[in-house]
Amino acid sequence: MHIGTGPAFALLVGLTLLSGCSSPSVITLNDGREIQTLDHPDYDDEAGFYEFEGIDGKPGRVNKDQVRTVQEL
Residue 32 has pLDDT above 80, yes or no: yes
pLDDT digits (tens, 9 = 90+) for 47-73: 999 999 999 999 999 999 999 999 998
In angstroms, the CA 34 to CA 54 distance is 11
Question: How many C-beta atoms surround the C-beta of residue 50 within 10 A?
Answer: 22
Domains of the chain: 22-72 (2.30.30.100)
In angstroms, the CA 50 to CA 26 distance is 12
In angstroms, the CA 21 to CA 48 distance is 26
In angstroms, the CA 37 to CA 23 distance is 9
Which whole number is the average pLDDT over 29-54? 96
| pLDDT for position 4 | 60
SS3 assignment, position 10: helix
